[in-house]
Structure 1
Amino acid sequence: MTTTDMPGRQPLWQRLLFAIPLFGWLAHDAARGKPEDLGYTAAALVSMWGCSALLFGLPGLYLPALAMVPVMFLILVLISNG
């Protein structure tokens, strides 16, 4: 009989994020995968953005960019705080 180390339980927000079918798989690969998986994740997100622009037209192009404004604002605030 051997003992194995059980991995620690993930926080709730990670379990919820990883449970989302498409975005959760991308986030899980980016967080725990190989270093090149981050590039594949970025390429997949840009491709999804392009597909939404082709499918929905200009709103599919503008709305994801508009949704990123608060995220970038938060990043700028965090950078300026040091």
Structure 2
Amino acid sequence: MIARMVYHVPVFGWMLKEAVSGPITAKVLFILNLLLVWLLAILTFGYPAIIIPALAAVPSMFVILILITKG
């Protein structure tokens, strides 16, 4: 249900749907688009556009490290 809602978001939804169910080139192009949008955000907003994704990744890295050490 959530996937259907996300797939109905204009522009981003159809790209994500194609990346999930499409050929390997669609997946590569989707990742390339995400990187280019991030680069555009860095050029527009500067340093915060680099720091905010890193801060958002900290909780997931903590979980990964805990799972690795847990065994």
Which structure carries more helix by proportion?
2
Distance 1:25 1:69, change over 3 A: farther
Cα RMSD, aligned residues only: 2.3
Amino acid of the structure 2 residue aligned with 1:43 = L
Aligned twin of 2:53:
64
Aligned twin of 2:18:
29
Paired residues for 1:1-82 under 5 Å: 12-74=1-63, 76=64, 80=68
Identify unmatched segments of 5+ residues in structure 1: 1-11
User: TM-score if structure 1 supplies the norm length?
Assistant: 0.66
Percent sequence identity is 32
Distance 1:37 1:73, change over 3 A: farther
User: TM-score if structure 2 supplies the norm length?
Assistant: 0.74
Identify unmatched segments of 5+ residues in structure 2: none
Distance 1:27 1:50, change over 3 A: same
